Structure 1
Amino acid sequence: MPARDIDHVVVMTRDLESARAGWEQLGFTTTPRAVHPFGTANSLIQLQGNFVELLEIDDESRIAPPAADAFSFAAHNRAFLAAHGEGGSMLVLTSADRDADIAGWTARGLRTYAPFDFERKARLPDGSETRVAFSLGFTGDRSLDGLGFFVCQQHTPEAFWKPDYQRHRNGARRIAAVTLASAEPEAARPFLEGFSGGVAGPAGDDGCYAVALAQDRLDVVPGGPPAIPAIEIAVDDVEAAAALIPGAWRDGPAIVLPSEIANGVSIRLVPAQPQARR
């Protein structure tokens, strides 16, 4: 199974408009609010090939209850918000064939759920509307209980990706890495390799290790309850980005934005590699 890459990270919020305003103050462009047919609403930070999804509960009456064989995206995120507050609630990887991915997980003994397909309206930069369509496949593991994991196969990429939404004042280019915390990082290793198709490296003395994806990576660290504490985003010019953001601090060549100003996730801005700038 070939290694996948990061498609997006879901950041659960209590107030979507407030979250949009906050991320725009950090130099990101956000898409207009969009509504899902299953009770949630979102706004995206589109980057070069992946994105951050800011999410809120929109209509409780449309949320499907969890079932043994069906993963409820909205119910998961509602429960996450109640248990943990705002923060990274789900990691999503790319998919060229959702059904093949689920079959591959089943063959490797991973927990799987019924496939899920949906469409929604998307507002274009000129104010017009189009429809975007997706096929999702969900999985999960006890070692990372409380977080959601799925792949997303896009059927309308030409309608989804828009250059006007992919340009950011802070020069953001791509999510390069996502940090996952677990009380049992070694127990999470087989799941993360099976979920991603990537290869996990050896653990250091501190118990941390990385899972190499096609071009991105997952950083796994020891922690308390499973969490997505940080997102690493490559930017064109770290110094220029830092000048836009009061409250950021330096960590070597990177700039770190604390979770208090980014809806529960820390953002680490790193220099983009030359190929990522093209």
Structure 2
Amino acid sequence: MLKLDHLVINTRFDTDAAQGLFEQLGFTLTPRGYHTLGSLNHAIVFDDHYLELIGLPADGKTIREEIASSPLGADGLVFRIDDPDATFASLRDAGLEATPPQTFSRPVPPLGDARFTTVRLAPGQLPGGRVYFCQHLTPELVFRDAWRAHPNGAYALERLHLIDASADTYARLGALAPGFELAFHTRDAFDAQFAPLAEHVVQRAPRYAAITVRTPQWREIGERAAAAALPTVTQPGRTLVALPRFDTLLEFVR
């Protein structure tokens, strides 16, 4: 079964602003990391998965093309793997085009280098965003207790919401492990479910559009969002927060 490793929000050249917004919302962010591929990131770590804010150096000196050419906001869906070569072969057998396993790293001072091997689907095969698979060679440098505690009580990513993407197409990857779901919407259905904040999600399709986060403090998130001047609404059972600068909605539930 497919186990979530992380979701990705593309901040492009605006990672400083994204860092500030997520900290204001009460998340603990890892120190900024610098990949050998040229990108930079912060991670919001939960027990066995995380939300990654990925971007590029603001000075423009290093360009990772797949980041620069991808849209702002929720953009990446990444599954955990243990055997990159077997994953590459199984994707090929399913008729999907993927890149061969690639290993890269980022320093985690003073602990060492966090190392990863990834297999990436070629663009355009699964509509909505980038899909890839990640093996953690040094998980102890990512899933650290100090980074798992969030002032807003968040403890898991529950759902990624897609607009005008085919569930049947994603089913080619296999079944998802319990605890994380993909929710498929038409644009009209998404607008109805996420009213009145859906207007902050740009009209383009197919796309990733919203992320559901679990926290017992889901009501209090609205106060944090308002203090950060972010559009927010609290409804029965959930609080919605729009990130207009990053074309993404966050849904907080218990």
TM-score normalised by structure 2 residue count: 0.83
Amino acid paired to 2:68: R
**Which residues of structure 2 form unaligned runs of 5+?**
188-203
Looking at structure 1, the residues matched to 127 and 205 of structure 2 have their Cα atoms a distance apart, in angstroms, of 8
In the alignment, which residue of structure 1 is the partner of 2:186? 222
Please, which runs of 5 or more residues in structure 1 have no aligned partner? Answer: 64-73, 199-211, 272-278
Paired AA for residue 12 in structure 1: N
With over 3 angstroms needed to count, the CA separation of the structure-2 counterparts of 1:110 and 1:24, relative to structure 1, is same
Distance (whole Å) between structure 1 residues aligned to residue 235 and residue 160 of structure 2: 17
- Distance (Å, rounded) in 2 between the aligned partners of 1:228 and 1:176: 14
Deviations 1:212-237 (A, max 9, x none): 53321111122442211100011123
Tell me what 1:35 maps to. Answer: 34
SS of residue matched to 1:111: coil
Distance 2:179 2:37 in 1: 32
Give distance in 1, aligned partners of 2:177 and 2:68.
29
Percent identity (aligned):
23
Asked if 1:149 is matched to 2:131, the reply is: yes
Paired position in structure 2 for 1:134: 116
CA displacement, residues 21-56 of structure 1 (integer Å, 9 cap, x when unaligned): 111001111111111112211111112211111111
- Quick one: structure 1 residues 189 and 141, their matched pair in 2 at CA, closer, same or farther if it must change by over 3 Å? farther
Native 8 Å contact 2:154 2:213 kept in 1: yes
Distance 1:253 1:116, change over 3 A: same
2:73 paired with 1:87: yes
Specify the alignment match of 2:147 in structure 1: 165
Query: Does structure 2 conserve the Cα–Cα contact (< 8 Å) formed by 1:118 and 1:134?
Result: yes
CA distance, structure 2, for counterparts of residue 254 and residue 78 of structure 1: 33
Which amino acid is the alignment partner of residue 269 of structure 1?
A: F
Conserved? CA contact 1:110–1:141, under 8 Å: no
Shift of 1:9: 1.5
Structure-2 separation of matches of 1:56 and 1:28: 18
**Contact 1:180–1:226 (Cα < 8 Å) also in 2:** yes
> CA distance change for structure 1 residues 60 and 39 in 2, over 3 Å: closer, same or farther?
farther
Partner residue of 2:14?
15
Offset of residue 62 of structure 1 = 5.0
Structure 1 residues 25, 141: CA separation in 2 closer, same or farther (over 3 Å shift)? same
| TM-score (normalised: structure 1) | 0.76
In structure 2, relative to structure 1, the CA distance for the partners of 1:153 and 1:143 (3 Å cut) is: closer
CA contact (8 A) 2:121 2:130 kept: yes
Equivalent residue pairs, number: 232
Matched with 1:121 is 107
Say whether the 8 Å CA contact 2:37–2:104 is kept in structure 1. Answer: no
Amino acid at match of 2:253: V
SS in 1 for 2:214: strand
User: Contact 1:141 / 1:191 at 8 angstroms: preserved in 2?
Assistant: no
Q: Distance in 2 between matches of 1:75 and 1:17?
A: 20
2:29 and 2:85 map into 1 onto residues whose CA distance is 31
Deviation of 1:139 (Å): 1.1
Shift of 1:96: 2.1
Post-superposition offset of 1:144: 4.2
Equivalent positions of 1:22-101 (< 5 A) are: 22-58=21-57, 62-63=62-63, 74-80=64-70, 84=71, 86-101=72-87
1:267 aligned to 233, 246, 250, which one?
250
Output the CA distance in 2 between the equivalents of 1:133 and 1:230: 29
Question: How far did residue 160 of structure 1 move?
Answer: 1.5
